[in-house]
Amino acid sequence: MSPGAPTGRVELPGSGRVPDPGHTRVGDIDLQAEIEVSVYVRPRGSLAWVDAAAALPPGERRLVSRGEWAQEFGAHPADIHAVESFAAQSGLSVTGRDGPRRVVVVRGTVQAVAQAFGADMIGMYRDPGTGATYRGRSGPLTVPDALAGVVVGVFGLDNRPQARANVRRRAFDPSSYTPVGVAQAYAFPAGFTGAGETVGIVELAGGFQASDLTTYFGELGLASPAVTAVSVDGGENQPGEDTDSDAEVMLDIEVVGAVANGVSIAVYFAPNTDQGFIDAVSTAVHDTTRKPSVVSISWGRSEDSWTAQARTQMEQIMTEGAALGVTVTVAAGDNGSTDGVTDGQQHVDFPASAPHALACGGTTLDASGTTISSEVVWNDPGDGVTGGGVSRQFALPSYQSNVGVPDNADTGAPGRGVPDVAGDADPNTGYAIRVDGTDETIGGTSAVAPLWAGLIACLNQRLGSPVGFAQPRLYPLLGTDAFHDITSGNNGAYSAGPGWDACTGLGSPDGAALAGELADGSGTG
């Protein structure tokens, strides 16, 4: 038992919170307000086999269907029951349970929920960046001894904004690339549109208008893909309230739908909190109705701004996705090697730094048709710089063991290298996108995550099986025609060079060559 926990209780590992620097206390919390929290429990089975299985040829890989998942790897019913019993004893109601997702949702007053989980609620705070006010807490959470090791994460007491969209907007430039043009430059496999695949997109604000999509795809000479909004934790498709967030949503949908015009798209809207973000990714990965084979995430924040329990749960969910054959593409950030943190240190964006996320960095692309004249690291301090670097929180994964990931520039310690892959992100060589009835040119690594999501959907159709957890199949292709090696430029502390680098990873794709390599089994260990 931790010295800080009362007798009969244990601290929940990694649950400690502190006020964010520069956030101002603006009042007291209404302790009688009703809230819901998501209580995650341990998985029933180990996923230690996932990485090795992903490196095998498709016919030999183990993938678990969503139908099989609950019995072998979801929550044990006894663990769900234990949480429900504890909730009842604490005067809380259970409003949801999901065994495959390993989550129980409990509801009560702030005071009752805080008492149940030992939370020190310290007041209402204001985020100076967004102006949002939120409930703040300090210190760790605790659970009864009987739930030690059973409960692995509790989210929703502290509801501070957790992430930002990695998107860069500017006035419309008629010479902007369309997503179709970028796909052509990257030689996406001809004749494959992702037909039969569903791409999930996670959004933490904003929304889309169907009329904009009809106009946009019509102008490209394409059919509008089927787009479905899915509400998570009360999140909704709300276009018009936040144009920056609308730009993120429209960029994601329009890039995916243009480069993989045969896919269905499910957009999972959730509140911008760690609870909302984690629940949205979990809902997408385990969605038995829409069954996405790819999930695209363009939101994130420095990995050090997350609690350890939140990082652990997000990475666990992405590992679950790997077991199910779901690829999760994540933007690597638009603020260089510091990730916009002002402490003079280097930081990587999360969830891009999760080892089971396919982290997507940014380039500046000069191309005409299928010809790429030049491609360098995206670094324009006025319009953004690609994220990338070496994680302080995640160890060097086995798939990066032989590619020369440098030690962290500040600590000198090894770690997970970010990104894995890259694509056009510079708004000066950006994408023509329609937002709230207006055409804009948009860039950012937010464009690269859906670009790769669309490519993966096309590859899934081409291969007849899901790429799934991609890195064990992609890293053996370093130095082949499957990637355009980016060797010029830097993102601050890290520079590009031959081979993998902490600016653009393996490089940008040659989709046709990548499809060929994967089809003949070259991308296997």
More confident residue, 469 or 166: 469
Confidence of residue 3 (pLDDT cuts 50, 70, 90): very low
When pLDDT is averaged across residues 237-251 and rounded to a whole number, the result is 95
The residue that leads in pLDDT, 525 or 462, is: 462
For the chain, helix (H) and strand (E) counts, in that order, are 12, 29
- Cα–Cα distance between 283 and 103 in angstroms, integer? 10
Q: Give alpha helix (H) positions in 307-415.
A: 308-324
**What value does the mean pLDDT take over residues 89-118?**
98
Mean pLDDT of the chain: 96
Q: What is the mean pLDDT of residues 416-425?
A: 98
Reduced to 3 states, what is the DSSP secondary structure of residue 94? strand
Residue 58's pLDDT is 78
Task: Tell me how far apart the alpha carbons of residues 420 and 475 are, in angstroms, rounded to a whole number.
Answer: 9
Classified as helix, coil or strand, 274 is helix
Say if CB 445 and CB 331 are below 8 A apart: yes
Compute the average pLDDT of residues 44-68.
Answer: 92
What is the pLDDT, as a whole number, of residue 57?
84
Confidence category of residue 382, pLDDT binned at 50, 70, 90: confident
- Tokens 């502390």 correspond to 493
3-state secondary structure 19-43: CCCCCEEEECCCCCCEEEEEEEECC
Query: In this model, does residue 524 exceed pLDDT 70?
Result: no
Residue length, the chain? 525
Least confident of 125-134, 452-461, 481-490: 125-134
The arithmetic mean of pLDDT across residues 466-470, rounded, is 97
CATH 1.10.3720.10 fits 164-519, yes or no: no
Q: What is the pLDDT of residues 177-208, one digit of tens each?
A: 999 999 999 999 999 999 999 999 999 999 99
Alpha-carbon span 356 to 277, nearest angstrom = 16
Distances (CA, A) of 192 to 260, 262, 281: 8, 8, 26
- Would the pLDDT of 351 be above 50? yes
Residue 522 pLDDT = 57
**Catalytic center residues:** 248, 252, 446
Residue 59 pLDDT level (bands cut at 50, 70, 90): confident
Confidence of residue 129 (pLDDT cuts 50, 70, 90): confident
Q: Is the peptide bond before 19 cis (omega within 30 degrees of 0)?
A: no
Mean pLDDT for 341-347 is: 96
396-412: per-residue pLDDT in tens?
999 999 999 999 999 99
Q: Please say if the pLDDT value at position 2 is more than 70.
A: no
- Rounded distance between C-alpha atoms, residue 117 and residue 119, angstroms: 6
What is the mean predicted confidence (pLDDT) over 216-234?
Answer: 98
Query: Average pLDDT in the 115-138 region?
Result: 96
**pLDDT band of 7, cuts 50, 70, 90:** confident
Over residues 1-22, the mean pLDDT reads: 83
The pLDDT assigned to 4 comes to 59
Please state, in angstroms and rounded to a whole number, the distance separating the CA atoms of residues 325 and 293.
7
351-374 mean pLDDT: 98
Check if the beta carbon of residue 136 is closer than 8 Å to that of residue 14: no
Q: Which pLDDT does position 381 carry in this prediction?
A: 85
Structure confidence at residue 146 as a pLDDT band (50, 70, 90) = very high
Q: How far apart are CA 68 and CA 102, in angstroms?
A: 14
pLDDT bucket at 523, cuts 50 / 70 / 90? low
Domain ranges of the chain: 9-62+74-155, 164-519
pLDDT at 509 over 50: yes
Whole-prediction pTM: 0.97
Instruction: Identify the pLDDT of residue 525.
Output: 46
- Taking only the tens place, the pLDDT of each residue in 261-294 is 999 999 999 999 999 999 999 999 999 999 999 9
